[in-house]
Chains A and B, each alone.
Chain A
Amino acid sequence: GAGVSQSPRYKVAKRGQDVALRCDPISGHVSLFWYQQALGQGPEFLTYFQNEAQLDKSGLPSDRFFAERPEGSVSTLKIQRTQQEDSAVYLCASSLFGAQETQYFGPGTRLLVL
């Protein structure tokens, strides 16, 4: 596609529910990133994939967060047993290769946990 797409755009979950957020990167992009953005803050790194390999998951805030990219294209970020502090915008970005390359962002999924 023309750009990075994410779905759903908005998600409301009750505390304790599991959610799955999807990212479709730009076709052919090797690298894929997930960020979490709180209101009024810059994006914070969560995890990084190079093709299907998750090379860095150091930013995932807890073991309730899990990400995968099984075929090296579409990625899913899963949050289990959601908590109110998980409320944020989750941004996905892709780049052609990786280091020092421009990252192209999707519109994000706005998650609200009640």
Chain B
Amino acid sequence: GQNIDQPTEMTATEGAIVQINCTYQTSGFNGLFWYQQHAGEAPTFLSYNVLDGLEEKGRFSSFLSRSKGYSYLLLKELQMKDSASYLCAPGLDSSYKLIFGSGTRLLVRP
């Protein structure tokens, strides 16, 4: 079966750094996506990691450890507009399917 675990909610202060963790157990694995979803809106692509290590893209970075079944999303210089849900989604081996976690709801406070 598939199991994805991420915190339900996190709160951080504007300008700070926050790390959102995701652990996963899937039958087969070939890369992990992170999506951002504002309330009432579509999920939008943030990052994709297929190799171990850190991928940096502006204020957002994503890390993957395949051997540990672990990923995190790092958000720097938080802005109020970063308040959203962040969805961790492993891709199954050689498959089109994404399995989404329940998402982490991030609240950025002034």
Contacts and interface: CB of A to CB of B under 8 A. Distances in A.
Partners in one complex: yes
Interface of B, helix, strand, loop or mixed by DSSP: loop
Interface string B30-51: 1101010000011111001010
Interface residues of B, number: 25
Contacts, number: 59
A17 interface: no
28 contacts: A31-B96, A33-B96, A35-B100, A42-B4, A42-B87, A42-B103, A43-B43, A43-B100, A48-B96, A50-B96, A55-B96, A91-B43, A95-B96, A98-B96, A99-B30, A99-B94, A99-B95, A99-B96, A100-B30, A100-B31, A101-B96, A102-B33, A102-B45, A103-B45, A103-B98, A107-B41, A107-B42, A108-B42
